[in-house]
Amino acid sequence: MINPGQHTLARLRGFIVPLALLSLAEIVYAMNDVHSEIIAPPHEVLRALSTIAMDGTLWNATMQTLAGAMAGLSIGFGLGLLLGAFLGISSFLDRLLFVSIEIVRALPSIAFIPIAMLIFGFGYRMELSIVAFATFWPTLLLTRSAVSSIEPRLLEVSRALGFGIRASIWKIVLPAALPRVFVALRLAASVALIVAVTVEVTANPLGLGYGLMSAQQSLQPATMLALLCWLAAVGWTLNSALLWTEKRLFGRMTSTDFTR
């Protein structure tokens, strides 16, 4: 039997390995008098993090990255949702666009950085256009499959009750597809963050990615590692928030077991 106390203990067990590794790094660092341009001891990383947090640069960079990622996500997700729903409903459209989608989708979105730079120059517009492109495809594909895999019996029920197309979409298709569309949103959100940071690291003088690059170039490994840890925290928070929302919205429906 597991009582609640043991349960918390079991969860805390997951922190043993990272804490041990950090302590080890600290000890190794203290014993050898290293001066490195690549790594820094944990306590210095912590100090660097508090420095950039205090002077506001961390906050600014985070907002820039999130703005680029979220703006791009809303465009890419919105368009992907729309086209995906159409393709899921109409097998004609699906067959018409299938080849084009498979070809364009195969292009790595990062390859568009030079083109986007030419069109938009540096700044938000370039970053969000690439994020939009990158998030558009997974959203499109997942929405298409969510819509096309709706239980045909439900559509028949709707037909038998005499609902028109609009009412069918509103009452059956949308709510039936919503849980899987939300999974698409979660996936697209993590893609958005990855791509936004990549664009900042490689080209755009904005946000956390650019912060990482300038810390590296000015030989500040502690700041660089602090930003890295911070990015992990941002990504984790974003995903947890979406997971929590998903559970709140659709939690009771996952208990629906059709095999009974």
Partner 1 sequence: MTAPLTLDSANTTRSAPVEAPANADGVHTPLGTEPALFELRQATLTLAGRPILEKIDFVVRRKEFVSVVGSSGCGKTSLLRLMAGLARQTAGEVLYDGKPITRSHQDVAIVFQDYGKALLPWRTVTGNVALALEAMRVPKSEYRDRIGCVLELVGLAQHADKYPGQLSGGMQQRLQIARALAQEPKAILMDEPFGALDAMTRQSLQDEILTIVARTGATVFFVTHDLEEAIYLGDRVIVLRPNPGRIVRTFDVNLSRPRDQLRSREDGEFTRLRHELHTLFKELH
Q: Which residues bind partner 1 (CB under 8 A)?
A: 151, 153-154, 156-157, 159-163, 167, 171-172, 175-176, 178, 252-253, 255-260
In the complex, the smallest distance separating the C-beta of residue 69 from partner 1, rounded to whole angstroms, is 30
**Gap between the Cα atoms of 112 and 75, Å rounded:** 17
In the complex, the smallest distance separating the C-beta of residue 168 from partner 1, rounded to whole angstroms, is 10
Count Cβ atoms within 10 A of the Cβ of residue 190 and give its class: 0-12 exposed, 13-18 middle, 19 or more buried.
middle
- 112-144: buried (b, 16+ CB within 10 Å) or exposed (e) per residue? bbeebbeebeeebebbbbbbbbbbbbbbbbbbb
In the complex, the smallest distance separating the C-beta of residue 156 from partner 1, rounded to whole angstroms, is 6
Question: Closer to partner 1 at the Cβ: 110 or 178?
Answer: 178
Question: Closer to partner 1 at the Cβ: 47 or 171?
Answer: 171
In the complex, the smallest distance separating the C-beta of residue 146 from partner 1, rounded to whole angstroms, is 14
Question: Closer to partner 1 at the Cβ: 102 or 257?
Answer: 257
In the complex, the smallest distance separating the C-beta of residue 183 from partner 1, rounded to whole angstroms, is 16
Residue among 124, 5, 140, 29 at smallest CA distance from 67: 124
Q: Residue type at 62?
A: T
Question: Closer to partner 1 at the Cβ: 42 or 179?
Answer: 179
Question: Closer to partner 1 at the Cβ: 3 or 255?
Answer: 255
Are the C-beta atoms of residues 89 and 36 closer than 8 Å to each other? no
Are the C-beta atoms of residues 68 and 203 closer than 8 Å to each other? no
Q: In the 3-class helix/strand/coil scheme, how is 178-192 assigned residue by residue? A: HHHHHHHHHHHHHHH
